[in-house]
Amino acid sequence: MRRGLKKKIRIIFLNSAFFRNPVPVAALSIYPVIAAGYSLQNAVELSLLFLFLSVPVGFLFCLIGEMIPLWVRPAAVLAASAVFYLPAARLLESMIPGAVAALGMFGPLMICNSLILSRANVYAPSHIGWAVAADTLGCAVGFALVICLTGAVRGLWLSGSVRAAEGGVSLPFFGLIFVGFLAAFLQWVNRRRTLRTGKRGGRP
Amino acid sequence: MNLTEMKPPFIRGETSVASMMRDMLFALTLLLALPVVRYGPRPAVAAALTVLVCVLCELLFTLMQTKTTGLSDGSAAVTGMVVALLLPVNAPLWLPCAAGAFAIAAAKAPFGSTGRNPFNPAAAGLAFAAVCWPQLVFSYAATGSGPLPLFGDCAVQTAPSPAAVLKQGLPPNILPFEMLWGNFAGPAGATAVLVVAACGLYLFCKRVAQWEITACFLLVVIVIAALFPRAVFDPLSSVKYELLSGSVLFCSVFMVTDPVTSPHTTAARCVYGLLSGALVMAFRWFGAYEQGAVFAVLLSNAAAPVLDDLVFRFRGWGGELADA
Amino acid sequence: MQRGIKLEQHKAESLLHPVQELPDAAGLPPPKFFRAPKGRPDWEAVLRAAEEAEITDEFEDVPLAEKLRRMRRAGVSLALACCVDEDPYTTSAMAALREQTDGVIAGLALAARACGAKKSEIAVADRREKKEILRRSPEAKLVVAGTRYPARALLRRSLQAEGGKAAFVGAQACAALAAAVSRGEAQHDAIVTVAGSGVEIPRNVRVRIGTPLRHLLDFCGVHERTRLIVTGSSVTGRAVTDPSVPVTAATRCVIAMLRPPRYKTYACIGCGRCSRACPRGIVPWRIYQEMERSRPDPLKLLNARSCIDCASCSMICPSGLDLAAAVKRAAAIMESGDLH
């Protein structure tokens, strides 16, 4: 592979996974994080499900996305997502037995995950395979990071030595505030990076 | 002569943000008097601790954001006092501190501190405490519990507050005299109705609080209480009990009149008062907790900028007296 | 609803003593004289006399002749002698009225003739002042302006509400006009109030125009450790850094402060005091909010141009914001027509 392409792929991956992580930055796929991300167990299961679902959908739409007219593409993406949910759930069940049942309604809700859908609709059809692969894996890693962090913190609060906040912390409002602070942290990191590259005067 | 250069104006009016905060702090400290008399120094200790935690949080965030220590206005102290006064006297001491820390760290500092917060920080802190620890926030010590231990947990007998009794649809069984002087189970500073009213008058005269909001708020509460009593009694008793129970009067004087989070034009302020009064009664009727005033305040805060924009759209962007 | 703001007044001390004469500084030219018009001059003759006497209106710092011509063109129907000092420390206009009551009345009549106004009245600050002046001159026609700042704008609004146009002419300019027409005397001195924390005894002083400020400061015993000297008005005036500047007719007051005032600035807390105080109905906090953006929307700055620069908004703001400057910037945007 050409060296320039390798560098670009690396940048795409890092952006989706960390620096422009779509969950805090673009508020995509917020619902699973705030509603279901209150324990580490949930978080790991949901991240695996996300990975198993987004890779085939992204791959499919990279191949045939251009051929589908614009007005029918959202419906096609949703249909494809639903179809690929079954093997993904089966794969998750075989890795962690009892996971799909434990997730309750949040498992099937992954079908309409806004991050998967938006990437498949807009990004996958118009980019080359390597870019789509890097972006999809990056999004999966980014989502996993955010939801696992949220799940760990809230799970710790709920069960740890800090006097249990029973219902409160598992409610969505706390997740939203937590993701907000993550977004602020990311902004700070990005600002430091711009300052540093500005000082160096070179490419990031 | 060593003369300095300066831009006009060279004199100012006497009111400054710091002086307004000092007035509010004075009024809030007056409210501590009766609980201290009844329950010992514990309410004062709780208030002092909360104020300390709030001030420390504000210092920390100012350091992080601007790299200087800016503690020139007393708004963090006011937030701390309001939070401490709306929690029960027998609450464990970490509860008001946690609520105060949330109020500053999540509802005030990230938006830019004084003047830029869209939500009332004290209301946000109390809502957080109410949602996370509802049993602790709504269990009040029975009257006559005597002096409570200064630190550590209080194992006292709790009594249902009039707001809880009303929520179940029964008339509260308290003498009117007791209700006026706050000798019943309720939040630390919100029970002594006469003192709250006196503090309110003081703040209105000094123009620290806006009287239009309080007037419209209480008007709506009175009308709804008279038309839809929650228990079987006549409208006058309904109005009396609704106003004297819970934190409605306290919120109407100290929370809803916060100039930063309420609209800035007079017409919008009246509408805001009506809206928050209606929301308070809605929360009392249909809400999950016995006191819904803080949630009503938060919802109205969200509507405040919209109200201002509506007034400007109707009136033109100039103001009423635009002439030559 | 009362517009304007109430300022704490410091006028009583400087009015206790009569106006003192400052001995002429070295190097000043002698007062000029010219040929006074004969008999009862018509309006053109009055204007010519005002020009030859080089009279300056002390409130607006423009030549009186130019101001009267402008008033005539605008069709002013009521000429007011401005004997109101809006600034809380200044009493020079009040002292001028008290000491030269007949001169001010005569000058006002001449000014009314010159600008074609049918009515003329003397504006004083409060009813006590009105009684005082009526005692000295029972036929004078007086109108009370009130003590809220800015008194002149508020008086003009209430007078114009009854119809017609009103305009102010400075008290000292009126007296100088009377002297010019009757004796052919050019305007050569002005009454200046010297007050503030850096002065032991606040007082009014009659100063030759052109005297270096230093001479006046030494005469009044202004403290050496004064850090701030303000001329013109403590609200809209200028800070002086070089004490050798000459005193002009428009100086009106010299305020010496031992400590320059330091005000803390906070963010706007939305109290609405500024919009209540503005005498022109502007909403300064909204304009300030709009100007803080990188691209202010001109449609939301609609009446910024009616600002009269009284700075009531900046004075009343508890957060210490410079609202007057923001409104001025907004007015400049509207004026330039740069509506992108």
- Distances, alpha carbon B294 to alpha carbons A41, B250, C15, C209, in Å: 34, 11, 56, 66
Scored b (16 or more CB within 10 A) or e, C310-330 reads bbbbbbbbbbbbbbbebbbbb
Return the partners of chain A (3 or more C-beta pairs < 8 Å). Answer: B
Contact between C3 and B14 using a beta-carbon 8 Å cutoff: no
Residues 119-178 of A with CB under 8 A from B: 163, 165-169, 171, 173, 177
DSSP states along C34-102:
-PPPPSS--HHHHHHHHHHTT-EETTTTEEHHHHHHHHHHHT--EEEEE----SSS--HHHHHHHHTHH
Which helix (H) or strand (E) covers residue C144, if one does? strand C142-144
pLDDT tens-digit profile of B88-101?
A: 888 888 999 999 99
Q: Are A179 and A146 in contact (CB under 8 A)?
A: yes
Pairing of strands C78-82, C119-124: parallel
Interfacial residues of B (vs A; Cβ cutoff 8 Å): 94, 106, 110, 128, 131-134
Please give the pLDDT value at position B324. Answer: 34
> How large is the angle between the packed helices A129-159 and A172-200, nearest 10 degrees?
130
Nearest one of C59, C74, C57 to C115, comparing CA atoms: C74
Fill in the DSSP letter of residue A38: T
Q: How many CA atoms lie within 13 A of B67 on its CB side?
A: 0
> For chain B, which domains are there?
18-151+158-315 (1.10.3430)
Q: How confident is the model at residue B320 (pLDDT cuts 50, 70, 90)?
A: very low
Closest CA to A35 of A119, A150, A195: A150
Give yes or no for A91 touching B (CB within 8 A): no
Going by C-beta distance under 8 Å and a sequence separation of 6 or more, which residues neighbour residue C292?
none
Task: Read off the pLDDT band of A181 (50, 70, 90).
Answer: very high
Phi, psi of C190, deg, nearest 5: -145, 150
Partner C contacted by B317 (CB < 8 A): yes
Residues 6+ apart with CB under 8 A from B56: none
Instruction: Please tell me the predicted confidence (pLDDT) of residue C339.
Output: 60
Q: Which residues on neighbouring strands pair with residue B262, listed in sequence order?
A: none
- Summarised one tens digit per residue, pLDDT across range B192-230 is 888 999 999 999 999 888 899 999 999 999 999 998 888
Closest CA relative to residue C15, chosen from C179, C128, C103, C170: C128
Q: In this model, does residue A157 exceed pLDDT 50?
A: yes
Predicted local confidence at residue B305, as pLDDT:
92
**Apex CA A147: angle with CA B134 and CA A136, to 5°?**
155
CA distance C299 to C106: 48
Crossing angle, helix B42-66 and helix B75-86, to 10 degrees? Answer: 140
- pLDDT, tens digit, 9 for 90 and up, residues C87-132: 888 898 988 888 888 899 999 999 998 888 888 899 988 888 888 8
Does residue A159 come out as left (phi exceeding 0), alpha (psi in the -120 to 50 range) or beta? alpha
Map tokens 């100088």 to a residue. C176
Label residue C26 exposed, middle or buried (CB < 10 Å: 0-12, 13-18, 19+).
exposed
All partners of chain C with 3 or more CB pairs under 8 angstroms = B
A188 lies within 8 A of chain B by CB: no
Q: Which amino acid is it at B141? A: A
Helix (H, G, I), strand (E, B) or coil at A124: helix
ipTM > 0.95, yes or no: no
Answer yes or no: are the C-beta atoms of B194 and B181 closer than 8 Å.
yes
Q: Which residue of B has its CA nearest to A177?
A: B106
Mean pLDDT throughout C232-240?
A: 86
C3 near B CB under 8 A:
yes
**Domains parsed from chain C with CATH numbers:** 8-262 (3.10.20.600), 273-335 (no CATH)
Residues near B113 by beta carbon (within 8 Å), at least 6 away in sequence? B58, B61, B62, B65, B70, B75, C267
Cβ–Cβ below 8 Å for A168 and B132? yes
Residue B6 touches partner C, C-beta closer than 8 Å? yes
Query: Is C192 strand, coil or helix?
Result: strand
Q: Has residue B323 got a pLDDT over 50?
A: no
Q: How far apart are CA B38 and CA B147, in angstroms?
A: 7
Distance (Å, rounded) from C-alpha B267 to C-alpha B315? 10
Cα separation, C156 vs C9, in Å, equals: 22
φ and ψ at residue A49, rounded to 5 degrees: -60, -40
Angle between helices A3-14 and A129-159 (to 10 degrees): 30
Q: Which residue of C has its CA nearest to B71?
A: C266
Q: Give pLDDT, residue C306.
A: 87
- Chains A vs B: touching, with 3+ CB pairs under 8 Å? yes
C224, C241, C318 ranked by CB distance to B5: nearest: C241
**Record: contact A169-B132, CB cut-off 8 A:** yes
Residue B106 has its nearest CB partner, among A166, A171, A177, at A177
The contacts of residue A154 (CB under 8 Å, 6+ apart) are: A37, A38, A39, A169, A170, A174, A175, A178
Q: How many residues does chain C have?
A: 340
For C228, the enclosing helix (H) or strand (E) is strand C228-231
Strand partners, C170: C82
Residue with structure tokens 């350091």?
A: B63
Nearest Cα of chain B lies from the Cα of C5 at a distance, in angstroms, of 8
Binning pLDDT at 50, 70 and 90, where does residue A167 land?
low
Mean pLDDT of C27-51: 84
B321–C239 CB contact, under 8 Å: no
Which residues of C, range 201-230, sit inside 8 Å of B by Cβ? 224-230
| pLDDT at A165 exceeding the cut of 70 | no
Beta bridge partners of C190: C207
Chain C residue numbers touching B114 (CB-CB < 8 A):
266-267, 269
Q: How far is B126 from chain A (nearest CA, A)?
A: 12
**Mutation target vs C (from B6, B11, B301; most C CBs, 10 A cutoff):** B11
CB pair distance less than 8 Å for B133 and A181: no
Residues above pLDDT 70, as percent of chain C: 99
Burial of A201 (0-12, 13-18, 19+ CB in 10 A): exposed
Which tokens sit at C23? Answer: 């001995």
Model confidence pLDDT, tens digit, residues A22-77: 999 888 999 989 888 888 888 999 999 999 999 999 999 999 988 999 899 999 99
d(CA C287, CA C66): 34
- Would you say residue A164 has pLDDT above 60? no
The set of residues, in sequence order, having a beta carbon less than 8 Å from that of A189 and lying 6+ positions away, is A19
Q: Confidence class of residue A137 from pLDDT cuts 50, 70 and 90?
A: very high
Instruction: List the single range of A61-75, C19-33, C169-183 with lowest mean pLDDT.
Output: C19-33
Query: Helix-strand-coil percent breakdown of chain C, rounded to 5?
Result: 40, 15, 45
How many Cα atoms sit within 13 Å of C210 on the Cβ side? 12
As beta bridge partners, residue A179 has: none
CA distances from C324 to B17, B85, C86, C151, C328 (A): 19, 40, 17, 18, 6
What is the distance in angstroms between the Cα of A28 and the nearest Cα belonging to chain B?
22
Local structure of residue C20 (DSSP, 8 states)? E
Cα gap C300→B34, rounded to integer Å: 50
- The answer to whether A100 touches A89, Cβ cutoff 8 Å, is yes
Residues with Cβ within 8 Å of residue A24, at least 6 apart in sequence: A146, A179, A180, A182, A183, A186
Residue C226 with chain B: CB contacts under 8 Å: 1, 3
Contact pairs from chain B to chain C, CB under 8 Å: 153
Distance from CA of A194 to the nearest CA of B (A): 18
Place C139 in a pLDDT band, splitting at 50, 70 and 90: confident
For residue C243, give how far its alpha carbon lies from the nearest alpha carbon of chain B (Å).
Answer: 9
Highest averaged pLDDT of the listed ranges B66-75, B299-308, C185-194:
B299-308
Select from C190, C186, C167 the least CA-distant residue to C35.
Answer: C186
> Range with the lowest mean pLDDT among B4-13, B39-48, B251-260, C49-58?
B4-13
Which chain C positions have a beta carbon within 8 Å of B15's beta carbon?
Answer: 273, 316, 318
CA distances from C327 to B12, B61, C21, C147 (A): 18, 32, 41, 25
- Residue A8 CA to residue A5 CA, distance in Å, equals 5
The answer to whether B39 and B145 are in contact (CB under 8 A) is yes
Window C:241-270, CB contacts with B under 8 Å: 241-243, 255, 257, 260-261, 263-264, 266-270
Mean pLDDT of chain C: 87
pLDDT tens per residue, range C254-308: 998 888 887 788 889 988 899 889 988 888 999 998 888 888 877 777 788 888 8
Closest partner CB to B131 (pick from A163, A168, A184): A168
**Mean pLDDT, range B270-275, rounded to an integer:** 95
| Max Cα–Cα distance, chain C, nearest Å | 63
Which residues face C80 on adjacent strands? C121, C168
Residues C89, C11: contact at Cβ < 8 Å? yes
Q: What is the rounded radius of gyration, in angstroms, for the C-alpha atoms of chain A? A: 18
